[in-house]
Amino acid sequence: MLRQRFVLDTTALTDSQAWESEGCSTICEGMSAILDRVAQARLHLGISCYVPYPSVYNEIKDFVRHNNCDAVVLSKVDTWLVKKTPDRYKVKVPSKIFYEYVDFMRGRINKGMNISEEAIWESVARCIALSESGASLKDMKEEIERETVGGIIRKFREKYRASLRYGILDSAPDIDVLLLAKDLDAAVVSQDLGIQRWSEQLGLRFMESRSFPVMIREYMGAIDLRVELKEEKEDRMI
């Protein structure tokens, strides 16, 4: 079988649909089960799974600790995931990618600015409407802060976050995943839409986190079937 390499983002271990497909009900059980699949892939399929070091590796460690997972999970991380720092000086990225990323980000920033302007106009309009009731500023202050402006700010944050974070690279670990995959000519495993989008731009193979353990199960099932057929053939020859 052709040896394969995969670079894992943190979501490769933490995506809920990935570990639910393994029949797990908690994040710690799920991470442990996915790492068991990684172990199978390493031992029986010759598949190597990498994580950028220290960025993504530290993210995974922090996730394990914050969720109070036992030491076995962290031990599996250290055992079955290959830690490697991407060569940030030698990995070549086409200059066209930078032009596209700047253009993409400019569009997102402009969209965020429009959302900000909408929120300002809405808050002004509501405050004017309240002032027409004739109540004093002191009487209206609590309602303005809690109901009017507070509600607008909550809605603004949701829309702004969705506008600016959807499909972009917003952290150093995200970039490290892409650089390491480019360095190793490996496939990327992630559920992050920004990583997915820019994996495609860089011509990298990509797999969703929720599909990764399923793929390993399929491979292992094919091996088991091959062994079973071989044993049946040997039995017929005896």
Q: Torsion angle of alpha carbons 219, 220, 226, 232, nearest 10°?
A: -160
pLDDT of 136 reads 62
Taking phi over 0 as left and psi of -120 to 50 as alpha, with beta for the rest, 46 belongs to left
- pTM (global) more than 0.85: no
pLDDT tens per residue, range 29-43: 999 999 999 999 999
Residues of the chain with pLDDT under 50: 1
Residue 82 burial (C-beta neighbours within 10 Å; 0-12, 13-18, 19+): middle
- For 107-153, the pLDDT digits (tens) are 888 888 888 888 888 887 877 776 776 666 666 666 666 667 778 88
Q: Cα(176)–Cα(55) distance, rounded to whole angstroms? A: 7
The two beta strands, 206-208 and 82-84, are unpaired
pLDDT value of residue 147: 66
Query: HSE-up of 110 (CA within 13 Å, CB side)?
Result: 6
